[in-house]
Copies of this chain bind each other. A is one copy, B any other.
Amino acid sequence: MHFKILKKSNKNKARTGQISTLHGIINTPVFMPVGTQATVKTIAPCELKEIGVEIVLANTYYLLLRPGDRLIRQAGGLQRFMSWNRPVLTDSGGYQVFSLSDARKIKEEGVKFRSHIDGKSCFLSPEIAIQVQNNLGADIIMAFDECSPYPCEYNEAKLSMERTLRWAKRCKDQFNREANSFLNPECSLFGIIQGGVYQDLREISARETINITFDGYALGGLSVGEPKNLMYEVLNSTLPLLPEKKPRYLMGIGTPEDLWDCVELGIDMFDCVMPTKNARNGQLFTSLGKVNIKNAQYKNDFSPPDPECQCYTCSNFTKAYLSHLFRAGEILALRLNTLHNLSFMVKLMAKIRKAIEEDNFQQARKEFLKKYQQVTFNA
């Protein structure tokens, strides 16, 4: 993996760049759609390509449980398995072990847990998380971390952050040990900074994670329920500590507003289930704000979901049709909504990159938000 910064804003910390991987280039700042179980829900890979998605995120926890990382390695890796020939980032499974599994027992060695699918007893450790991600053939592998919830007592957050540091070192060691058997010979490893909302813990975590040396640095444990201002306090204090020449990834963020704000602070990579999950609940992101297709007003609205969008959904269908499909429980509703929301996010990131390149970030954000925030009351 190689990261090249193309343009730095001279008014803020925003920058554009390119991450080069075995499976192609990722233009940053980038939004990564979530493909939890080796598919972005409802969407085919040809559609992801068509709307310009350059990287998808897949999920170690889910794929380890089903169909298993060995089967995916046998298939030739995630790209071959899911017929997606562009880059893939895999998360380490840490977040899911803590949020989804039953009866988990955290020890220094790793985490014992029960599969949420069949109750089977499973074990995930830093070493196993790296092995699994190697088998998945990811372009970007994430270190196995322990994600503090919110709220979380200082001492608890501290213990968790310190364990994450020790695990990070073990991940790095395991990554080096596996180098000879990489399914994806150009895969890279990112470290994850934890510490809850406590700035001193975040600082320790950042410094020590950087000391281990990773190919990129992620901020984990944010957007887990804390007030927005606390998240921005953490970002403001932690981001300046990160090396400029490596990609910075903010996990689990965010809304269109957040994307502008976090890019401004120097974030290069984002992922979030919101555009896909909300689509399946009938919420569309449009240039004129959020549209909840379940609202009665759209039943006989023969205009496209987003008048400024040229995606397949907006070019071919009306709100009235999407409203009908959703009410009728048709799967095509979920598909068309998801396709549009992902297209919206891809175009939003392109808009943000252009604004950085043309040095008119503030103006571009203002223009975007002026339209976007006008009809949010419908959503």
Contact = CB atoms under 8 A, between A and B. Distances in A.
Contact of A42 (B312, B316, B332): B332
B39 A332 contact: yes
Contacts of A328: 37, 62, 66
Given A299-B71, A320-B67, A335 B331 contact: yes
| Assembly stoichiometry (copies) | 2
A279 to B, nearest CB: 12
Contact of A75 (B39, B302, B325): B302
B37 A71 contact: no
B330 A39 contact: yes
A71 B324 CA distance: 10
Interface in A189-235: none
A327 interface: yes
A280 to B, nearest CB: 9
Nearest to A84: B316
Interface residues of A, number: 38
A121 interface: no
A38 interface: yes
Contact of A312 (B43, B46, B75, B334): B46
Contacts of A38: 321, 324-325
Nearest to A62: B328
A147 interface: no
Contacts of A237: none
A300 interface: yes
A81 interface: yes
Nearest to A317: B83
A374 to B, nearest CB: 26
Contacts of A302: 74-75
B331 A82 contact: no
A75 B319 CA distance: 11
Interface in A300-340: 300, 302, 312, 316-318, 320-321, 323-325, 327-328, 330-332, 334-336
B320 A41 contact: no
Given A38-B324, A75-B318, A336-B44, A331 B330 contact: no
A185 interface: no
A205 B82 CA distance: 53
A299 B67 CA distance: 8
A332 B81 CA distance: 14
A256 interface: no
A334 B42 CA distance: 9
A45 interface: yes
Contacts of A39: 325, 330, 332
A327 B63 CA distance: 12
8 contacts: A37-B324, A37-B325, A43-B332, A66-B328, A71-B324, A81-B318, A83-B317, A83-B321
Q: 5 shortest A-B CB distances, which residue pairs?
A: A83-B316, A67-B324, A37-B328, A42-B331, A39-B332
Interface of A: 37-39, 41-46, 62, 66-67, 71, 74-75, 81-83, 299-300, 302, 312, 316-318, 320-321, 323-325, 327-328, 330-332, 334-336
Given A75-B302, A331-B334, 14 more contacts: A38-B325, A39-B325, A41-B331, A41-B332, A42-B332, A44-B336, A45-B316, A46-B312, A46-B316, A67-B299, A67-B324, A71-B324, A74-B300, A331-B331
